[in-house]
Amino acid sequence: MTMLLSVSDVSISYGKVEAVRSVSLDVGRDEIATIVGANGAGKTTLLNAVMGILPQHGRIAFDGRDIAGLDIEDRVAAGLSLVPEHRELFGTMSVADNLLLGAFRRPRASAARAFERVYALFPRLKERRQQLAGTLSGGEQQMLAMGRALMGEPRLLMLDEPSLGLAPLIVADIFRTIGELRAAGVSVLLVEQNARAALQIADRAYVMELGGFILSGPADTVSADPRVIASYLGFQGEAAAPSAG
């Protein structure tokens, strides 16, 4: 069976500077794939290119169809959606109106169904549907950004650092929701600084350094790799504890 998303040999440049070099990546159906890696590795650049925000060289297939030449709107229509790193909500608009923007160009009936689904996934957003987005807590804003992306009923949701700046309890909530999305048939491509949580929930993992993948495979295999343990998983907790001496 074909992958839902198949990126092959993709390169992305900012002017003369090549930020992503010849990477290939797959996301299967009903799967969570994660990209972990240090700051500046090229993770955001890659998600933006898959979404069609940045131009790329190379092949991108979605559901077996070549989408490399499509613009953003057509990629959205094909079933892709991106929650950007900085969430990009409309702060002076209500929660409900922000959500409605995500259903832009959808028939009214499907928008109503999408509202129901999003409110079921995030009851907090339903309680606060009249509140201005700018007055939401950081965690609620992340939920709203995810909710808005889900209003278009995507088949692949790309998340850029969803846990950024959030307290551990909220992070756990967000990750639980990501798992629920997979169970509901939405595939996820997750970029995360929190490598431990990301590798735990993911089916497939990629480790990115300096514009390329240095390692990829089933998430549990990648988690067990000594380089990953040393660079991304090692001594968390122990390192934070003050020494006894």
Ligand X SMILES: Nc1ncnc2c1ncn2[C@@H]1O[C@H](COP(=O)(O)OP(=O)(O)OP(=O)(O)O)[C@@H](O)[C@H]1O
Residues forming contacts to ligand X in the complex (CB under 6 A) are: 14, 17, 19, 37, 39-45
Q: Which is nearer to Mg ion, 44 or 216 (CB)?
A: 44
Tell me: does residue 48 bind Mg ion (CB under 5 A).
no
State the Cα–Cα distance between residues 207 and 35, nearest whole angstrom: 6
Taking CB under 5 A as the binding criterion, the range among 27-35, 36-44, 133-141, 151-159 that sits at the site for Mg ion is: 36-44
Cβ contact 204:197 at 8 Å: no
Site string for Mg ion, 60-79 (x = CB under 5 A): --------------------
Q: How far is the CB of 157 from ligand X (least distance, A)?
A: 17
Cβ contact 4:187 at 8 Å: yes
Q: How far is the CB of 220 from Mg ion (least distance, A)?
A: 25
Q: Which is nearer to ligand X, 80 or 125 (CB)?
A: 80
* Contact partner, 45, from ligand X, Mg ion, none, Cβ < 5-8 Å per class: ligand X
Cβ contact 87:165 at 8 Å: no
Amino acid identity of residue 76, one-letter, is V
Tell me: does residue 163 bind Mg ion (CB under 5 A).
no
Distances (CA, A) of 52 to 12, 47, 125: 11, 9, 29
Tell me: does residue 44 bind Mg ion (CB under 5 A).
yes
DSSP string, 43-62: HHHHHHHHHTSS--EEEEEE
**Where does this chain bind Mg ion (CB under 5 A)?**
43-44
